[in-house]
Amino acid sequence: MNPGASGPALASAAPTVATPRSATLHDVARAAGVSTATVSRAFNRPDTVRESLRQRVQAAAAELRYIPNDAARALASHRSRVIGAIVPTIDNAIFAQGVAAIQARVEAAGYGLLLAACDYDLARELAQARTMVGRGIEGLVLVGTRHHPALRDLLREHRIAYVCQGAFAPAEEPACVGFDNRRAAYVATRYLLELGHRRIGMVAGIRKDNDRAAGRVEGMRLAMAEACLALPDAAETTGQAPGSWLVESAYSYEAARLATRRLLVGTCRPTAVVCGNDILALGALRECQARGVDVPGQMSIVGFDDLAPARQATPALTTIRVSTTQMGEAAADYVLAALAGGSPPAVEIPFKLVIRASTAPPPSV
């Protein structure tokens, strides 16, 4: 209170226009001359209120620039109209596309999207899920099937509809939408084998806590084993021992080049390499070119994901294509369906080996 104020008129004349608290349901109700219940209904179940009244309510709402308070709404209705997504990282075209698709889908259904990136850290993912639960998400899309053991309990306990995107393994995780990474890598490797390659290496993503990356090397190994071929992988026991044909790399060009270098320096190097994704493949390609190893003449390369740059590279990359957009949409649809009361089925997204110019028969054949 201004001590110098001499009367109510003066006192109420604040220095500037007083905070014009934004309009509430009550304000609208008063303006329209109806009860709050009617206003609420006019918005949420228009068919239950008489046309004339609804119009009056709409008019009043528009006039007051009324925006419903979703916190109150969520509190009263137990529905937040928000779903969450936790991805390993946003800064990777694969996930960016997926998130974009999810966002679009979710928005179309009237939901908001709460996003977090866990950086491939299971504990962090759990913590993020926990705060999202507090924030009232109704559904959650996760990436991959490998998660902190407490995560599933958390989601179950709070009855959150969730789905694991990017992998298909209905056995270990019924709620998933994606493709079988093992099989895809298997297919890619088979193709190389059929081309005549026998000495095949792999530049894999980092497998720790990453079922997709792990599945891809498993699939590759399986194809090799079937052909009675081994994948020298000293890496696994002795670190990156020379001669290992299985190297792991972070998802960046630079790291991939370094990793590829290790593959190239051995006295006996592979004639083909399957990469954990296109970034790795592009890095591998670049490194080969830098060291004068002709691709595909002396070295075949197959990627994974079919990102846009894979198509543009020279030579264009042979790779496994899978539509992340489709996957994201399917994931969103899954949780949306679950929220609508259905119990949607796990869906398997197709993948496809697209053969371009980075693969050819091995030199000696």
Partner DNA sequence: AGGTTGATTGTAAACGTTTACAATCGCACA
Partner DNA sequence: TGTGCGATTGTAAACGTTTACAATCAACCT
CB 279 within 8 A of CB 307: yes
The answer to whether 28 contacts its own copies (rule: CB under 8 A) is no
Would you say 5 or 290 has its CB closer to its own copies? 290
Please report how close the Cβ of residue 70 comes to its own copies at its closest, in angstroms.
5
Tokens of 319: 């790779």
Q: Does 50 bind DNA (CB under 7 A)?
A: yes
Q: How far apart are CA 176 and CA 164, in angstroms?
A: 4
The correct pick among 91, 172, 194, 226 for binding its own copies (CB under 8 A) is 91
Strands 161-165 and 176-178: parallel
* Rounded Cα–Cα distance for residues 299 and 358 (Å): 8
Of 73 and 352, nearer to its own copies (C-beta) is 73
200, containing H or E segment = strand 200-204
Instruction: For the segment 190-249, give every residue that binds its own copies (CB under 8 A).
Output: none
User: Cα separation of 336 and 347, whole Å?
Assistant: 14
Provide the minimum distance between the beta carbon of 36 and its own copies in the complex, in angstroms, as a whole number: 15
The nearest distance, CB 107 to DNA, in angstroms, is 19
Q: Which two tokens stand for residue 136?
A: 């009232």
Dmax (CA) of the chain:
102
Contacts (CB under 7 A) with DNA, residues 56-95: 66, 68-69, 72-73, 75-78
* Percentages of the chain per state (helix, strand, coil), in multiples of 5: 45, 15, 40
**Stretch of 37-45, 96-104, 210-218, 291-299 contacting its own copies, by CB under 8 A:** 96-104
User: What is the separation, in whole angstroms, between the first and last Cα of the chain?
Assistant: 93
Contacted entry of its own copies, DNA, none for residue 2, CB cut-off 5 to 8 Å set by kind: none
Dihedral over Cα of 347, 207, 358, 257: its sign: positive
- 261 contacts its own copies (rule: CB under 8 A): no
Indicate which single residue of 5, 59, 90, 123 sits in contact with its own copies (rule: CB under 8 A): 90
Q: Are 215 and 187 in contact (CB under 8 A)?
A: no
Nearer to DNA, 44 or 131 (CB): 44
Binding-site size, DNA (CB under 7 A): 29
Closer to its own copies at the Cβ: 235 or 279? Answer: 279
Cα 129 to Cα 151: distance, rounded to the nearest angstrom: 8
Contact flag: residue 35 with DNA (CB under 7 A): yes
**Buried b / exposed e across 58-69, counting CB within 10 Å, b at 16+?**
bebbeebebebe
> Using the 8-state DSSP alphabet, how is residue 314 labeled?
S
When CB distances are held under 5 to 8 angstroms depending on the partner's kind, the choice from its own copies, DNA, none that residue 93 binds is its own copies
User: The tokens of 202 are what?
Assistant: 């792999």
Amino acid at 97: Q
Residues 132-161 that bind its own copies (CB under 8 A): 132-136, 157-158
Task: Write out the residues near DNA by the rule CB under 7 A.
Answer: 21, 24-26, 33-38, 40-41, 43-44, 47-50, 52-53, 66, 68-69, 72-73, 75-78
Task: Write out the residues near its own copies by the rule CB under 8 A.
Answer: 20, 22, 65, 67-72, 74-75, 80, 82, 89-93, 96-97, 99-100, 103-104, 107, 112-117, 128, 130-136, 157-158, 252-253, 282-283, 286, 289, 308-309, 311-312, 314
